[in-house]
Amino acid sequence: MAQRWIATDFGDLDVLRLEEYEPPAPGPGEVTIAVRAAGVNPADYKHIRSSRAPGSEELPIPIGYEVAGVVTAIGGPDAGGQPTRIGSGDVAVGDEVLAFRVTGGYATDLTVPARDVFAKPAAISFPEAANLLLAGSTAAEMLHVTRVREGDTILVHAASGAVGVSVLQQARLLGARAIGTASRGSFDVVERFGGTPVEYGDGLAGRVRELAPDGVAAALDGIGTDEAIEVSLELVADRSRIVTIVAGQRAKEDGFVIIGGAMPASKAYRDEVRAELVRLAGAGELVVPMARTYPLAEAVEALELVRTGHPGGKVALIP
């Protein structure tokens, strides 16, 4: 019997349960995946927080937005006789794939729309593949909405985090220079991915000015603290070139940009960049640094680590 994690209610991690379930057989345009790794993201616990309006979503809620695994079944042809194809093309049982954005990735087996499935590059592991696209597509959109281009110097808040390291790598590919905030212990991570580290905390704006005497073109925020927002507003005059993925309320009040995977424009952009991010990962140009893996049964422990805000890399669940 297959297993999956669900939230039985809105609330803290104690609403999570591991249950037995039967994944549906794939219909036309769907595939079933035996999950080898499920990516763990902060969104997985934020999604079920009690602050979300009860009734805004049907309970129970399956947890997890991204997986990597092996195709075990493929839906038949559609009404027009077209065979089921995945986002990257043809597919066969036994193929190694990754999938994003899915519902209920914390599972042993999962049936998903085939358009959200991509061939896994052989060069990356299942845990890396299962953590590539949520952070990677968020980072891509942050760079896109702030119009970052070759020669720009940008400020990246929480640069050592999952989204942060993807921003650093993608900024480098664009030819931009990134100054990235991190704790001292994470400076090596920022440097490894091509950024110039700067310690967050009192005096941040001054330290960034010293590193960027000609100014900062854009600020990309992955933490949402008042400090990150104030420093961004102080250093970047054009508010259309400040983006946050956390501080939605501040963005509304202060007139800068907020993006989120549930927003239609964000979803469309992120869907569009998935194939290119998979290609970059396969070419070794986009690396997913892992912190550790946990057995599927230890999803709560995995989320507790991510919730510390300092996981030290990505986390995956292994069925």
Provide φ and ψ at 268, rounded to 5°.
Answer: -65, -45
Check the CA dihedral 100-102-108-110 and report its sign.
Answer: negative
Smallest gap, in angstroms, from Cβ of residue 44 to ligand NAP?
A: 9
Smallest gap, in angstroms, from Cβ of residue 48 to ligand NAP?
A: 13
Smallest gap, in angstroms, from Cβ of residue 137 to ligand NAP?
A: 9
> Does 302 help bind ligand NAP (rule: CB under 6 A)?
no
Smallest gap, in angstroms, from Cβ of residue 290 to ligand NAP?
A: 11
Q: Is 253 exposed, middle or buried (0-12, 13-18, 19+ CB in 10 A)?
A: exposed
Smallest gap, in angstroms, from Cβ of residue 296 to ligand NAP?
A: 20
CA distance 229 to 181: 12
Which residues, including other chains, have CB under 8 Å from residue 112's CB and lie 6 or more apart?
30, 31, 32, 33, 99, 102, 103
> Which two tokens mark 92?
């066969």
> Does 311 help bind ligand NAP (rule: CB under 6 A)?
yes
User: Which residues make beta-bridge pairs with 30?
Assistant: 113
> Does 125 help bind ligand NAP (rule: CB under 6 A)?
no
Q: Which of 161, 180, 195, 319 binds ligand NAP (CB under 6 A)?
A: 161
User: Which residues make beta-bridge pairs with 20?
Assistant: 3
Cβ nearer to ligand NAP, comparing 10 with 86: 10
Which residues, including other chains, have CB under 8 Å from residue 79's CB and lie 6 or more apart?
28
> Does 309 help bind ligand NAP (rule: CB under 6 A)?
yes
Give the residue nearest to ligand NAP (CB): 161
> Does 46 help bind ligand NAP (rule: CB under 6 A)?
yes
Q: Which of 33, 162, 208, 257 binds ligand NAP (CB under 6 A)?
A: 162
Q: Which of 16, 86, 306, 317 binds ligand NAP (CB under 6 A)?
A: 306
> Does 138 help bind ligand NAP (rule: CB under 6 A)?
yes
Kindly indicate which of the ranges 68-76, 153-161, 232-240, 295-303 contains the residues binding ligand NAP, using the contact rule CB under 6 A: 153-161
> Does 146 help bind ligand NAP (rule: CB under 6 A)?
no
Kindly indicate which of the ranges 11-19, 85-93, 294-302, 303-311 contains the residues binding ligand NAP, using the contact rule CB under 6 A: 303-311
Is residue 286 within 8 Å of residue 169, measured between CB atoms?
yes
Smallest gap, in angstroms, from Cβ of residue 308 to ligand NAP?
A: 8
Footprint (CB under 6 A) of ligand NAP, residues 192-211:
200
> Does 235 help bind ligand NAP (rule: CB under 6 A)?
no
Cβ nearer to ligand NAP, comparing 18 with 211: 211
> Does 232 help bind ligand NAP (rule: CB under 6 A)?
no
List interacting residues with ligand NAP (CB under 6 A). 41-43, 46, 135, 138, 157-158, 160-164, 181-183, 186, 200, 222-223, 225, 245-246, 259-261, 306, 309-311
